[in-house]
Amino acid sequence: MANGIKTVCIDSCVVISLLKEGRDRLDKSDIPVLKGLLSDIHSGKIHVFFPTILRTEILECNIGKKLMAEFDLWTALPNFDEVPVNSRVAKTAAKIRSYYSEKNRVNEEIPKLALADCIFIATAIENDCPVLYTYDGDRLKPSKQKKLLSLKSPIAEEYPLQIQKPDAFQLGM
């Protein structure tokens, strides 16, 4: 945290929840946390990094022109950085995906990660974000794999990244 500014990478499911003001959340206790996160982003307390693939995932959700325009306003903020997938991110994403694919072959409790998930993780790592905020796995039944939220640091036994839901404690609420 440089100059009191928290640096995070943010997954598309969190951005979609922010845009929908928590209306898509099953757990309504997430709503004040989302409002706090958005406030901290707008006030400059949080610097957000996200891969360009987030934009693709949002467009695929058909959130509508109004919410897409709001997202475009956020991306114009100086502390909201869209990061293209460069060779460093691509190599790190491939390494992480390969690691968890191999672990999944041995133990099906280990999630097999989608390439997009690995790009989010690699974007966080390559931009020195200590945390990736996500809800990926938050809505699954207990018997199902929890995907990103089930991963523990160090990621792929190498990268010190925390993957977690945003919460009031982390945001200083």
Q: Does residue 28 or residue 172 have the better pLDDT?
A: 28
In a domain, 41, yes or no: yes
90 membership: H or E segment, kind and range: helix 87-106
Q: With a threshold of 0.85, does the pTM exceed it? A: yes
Q: What is the pLDDT of residues 162-172, one digit of tens each?
A: 999 997 545 55
Q: What is the span of the domain harbouring residue 135?
A: 6-164
For residue 118, is it within any domain? Answer: yes
Q: Is 169 part of any domain?
A: no
Answer whether residue 81 is part of any domain: yes
Q: Which two structure tokens, joined as six digits, stand for 87? A: 């060779």
- CATH number for the domain harbouring residue 126: 3.40.50.1010
Model confidence pLDDT, tens digit, residues 31-43: 889 889 999 999 9
> Mean pLDDT over residues 84-94, rounded?
97
Paired tokens of 142: 């207990």
Question: How many domains is the chain built from?
Answer: 1
In a domain, 172, yes or no: no
In a domain, 173, yes or no: no
